[in-house]
Amino acid sequence: METTKIVPDNSDEIFEPEIRIKTLSAINFRGFEKITVSFDSGLNVIIGENGSGKTSILDCTAKIVSVFVQSLQGEKISSEKIFGIFDMKYGSSETSVNAVYSYGNQEIGFDIIFSKEDSPEIRPVSGMKQLRESVNDKIRHQKAVNLPLFAYYPAVDAPLDFNGITGGLPTGNIFRAYDGILSRKSFDFRSFFMWYKWQVNIESQIGENKILNAARNAVYSILSDDSNKFDSLFINWINHPEGEMLINKNNVPLNISQLSSGEKFLLVLVTDLARRLAIANPNRENPLSGFGIILIDEVDLHLHPAWQRVIVPKLQRTFPECQFIVTTHSPMVLSRVRPQHIIILNNFRVLDNTPHTFGRDANSILYELMDVRERPEEIQVRIDEIYELTDEHELEKAKNRLRKLSEDLGENDVEIVRAYTHINFMEEMD
């Protein structure tokens, strides 16, 4: 039981705790018998085959982060609504989860133990009560507070239909940044739309709105690339009493419903993050530089391969103080990630060795990390047969097989060119 006492602080210094998750440990959680994951303070990319436990790690992290947020707000922790019987490994009688967070030079967190018979038991680690009382003391005395953001974006979630977005104005409670962070509907474009209209109204009254500019710049930074320039995210009121949101793409105004699925996915992700950071950081000049722990399942979902390659660096550049924990199947994503930021899962275990992926081509990453060959097996068999015939000096048979393969792959395929060169060399030798 924590007994740390808090002395009210009458200073005018902004209180903005930097929270990072350091480790997550679980026993008998879903498919995991026992696992401990250590997280980098900046970027973490989880990879593995389907069914290896990637999403379970994110779900477990999100659940225990939600307990953290409930405690931070001084709420009664309803862990039975967070952890349930379907989170228990089949055949086990008890499940335990532990998370350790860094808070300055301290470590804080929770142990949670639950079983089929008993309600979940929560054991706070030293430091949580002190942080909670510091936050609430500051708010109670109307001191300047910026809070870290926690958000989870599941893979099944992104709403790609923006028609009929309406609603009233949002409230200004700083804890609203945490609304719905554990639900399967974390992507909340409708709330962003209402918040954006509210900020536009403020801008019309006071002139430049730094918070609104930060949100706009986040959108432009993420969506724009060498081929496309996005700017002028605005509300059109003509013939639209509730307003409609448009954005310029290469100087052509588009309703956001007219964007591609990849553009919509990024727009929803970035706008929701920007809105939540702005709510959590009312005393920060640039709310996008606020602290946070952000979980994203299948960060490559809906994205063109060229965007897959840049999405992680862009997120880090746009939200530089957030800790990201993401999953992916994409070798394009991994080609921009250094080994210390990669977590490989295999059969519900964390592998010790992480190969280098940064700067490598997609085929070598597919083969070395994901055990996926460069070519379909039936094509590779045909290529191997051609080389075997050539080595056995069955050159006419080899050339006939090669002509047929060339019709499928094209004459400029690297293996076609290499095989023709090899056959020509063997003919000259004969």
Query: Which H, E and C letters describe 173-239, residue by residue?
Result: CHHHHHCCCCCCCCCCHHHHHHHHHHHHHHHHHHCCCHHHHHHHHHHHHHHCCCCCCEEEEEEECCC
Residue 181 has pLDDT above 90, yes or no: no
Residue 256 has pLDDT above 60, yes or no: yes
Residue 125 has pLDDT above 70, yes or no: no
| Among 52-56, 62-66, 423-427, the least confident range | 423-427
CB 95 within 8 Å of CB 28? yes
CB 126 within 8 Å of CB 108? yes
- Band of pLDDT at residue 185, cut at 50, 70 and 90: low
pLDDT at 164: 47
CA distance 425 to 98: 64
Q: Mapping DSSP to helix (H, G, I), strand (E, B) and coil, where does residue 363 land?
A: helix
Q: Which residues contact residue 219 at a Cβ distance below 8 angstroms, ignoring those fewer than 6 apart?
A: 230, 233, 247, 267, 270, 271, 274
Q: Mapping DSSP to helix (H, G, I), strand (E, B) and coil, where does residue 20 land?
A: strand
CB 6 within 8 Å of CB 91? no
The candidate with the shortest Cα–Cα distance to 211, out of 292, 294, 282, 268, is: 282
Across the range 56-72, mean pLDDT stands at 87
Residue 43 has pLDDT above 90, yes or no: yes
CA distance 285 to 299: 28
- Band of pLDDT at residue 187, cut at 50, 70 and 90: low
| Highest mean pLDDT: which range of 130-144, 294-308, 352-366 | 294-308
Torsion of CA 419, 425, 427, 430, to 10 degrees: -140
CB 83 within 8 Å of CB 89? no
pLDDT at 166: 47
pLDDT at 5: 36
Torsion of CA 381, 383, 389, 393, to 10 degrees: -160
CA distance 163 to 248: 18
pLDDT at 1: 34
pLDDT at 346: 86
CA distance 325 to 46: 7
Pick the CATH number of 19-370 from 3.40.1280.10, 3.40.50.2300, 3.40.50.10860, 3.40.50.300: 3.40.50.300
pLDDT at 113: 86
Q: Does 176 or 10 have the greater pLDDT score? A: 176
Across the range 180-209, mean pLDDT stands at 80
The string of DSSP letters for 292-343 reads EEEEESSTTTT--HHHHHHHHHHHHHHSTTEEEEEE---HHHHTT--GGGEE
pLDDT at 2: 38
pLDDT at 261: 84
250 Rama sector, left if φ>0, alpha if ψ -120 to 50, beta otherwise? left
Across the range 230-258, mean pLDDT stands at 91
CB 28 within 8 Å of CB 115? no
Return the structure tokens found at 383: 């290529």
Across the range 73-81, mean pLDDT stands at 69
- Report the mean per-residue pLDDT for the chain: 83
Residue 169 has pLDDT above 70, yes or no: no
Across the range 256-266, mean pLDDT stands at 88
The candidate with the shortest Cα–Cα distance to 4, out of 181, 102, 125, 96, is: 125
CA distance 258 to 246: 9
pLDDT digits (tens, 9 = 90+) for 387-408: 888 888 888 998 999 999 999 8
CA distance 69 to 257: 33
| Among 60-69, 162-171, 243-252, the least confident range | 162-171
CA distance 97 to 95: 7
- Band of pLDDT at residue 7, cut at 50, 70 and 90: very low
CA distance 295 to 61: 8
pTM listed for this prediction: 0.82
pLDDT digits (tens, 9 = 90+) for 302-359: 888 888 989 999 999 999 999 999 999 888 898 888 989 999 898 899 988 777 777 6
| Among 153-157, 228-232, 396-400, the least confident range | 153-157
110 Rama sector, left if φ>0, alpha if ψ -120 to 50, beta otherwise? beta
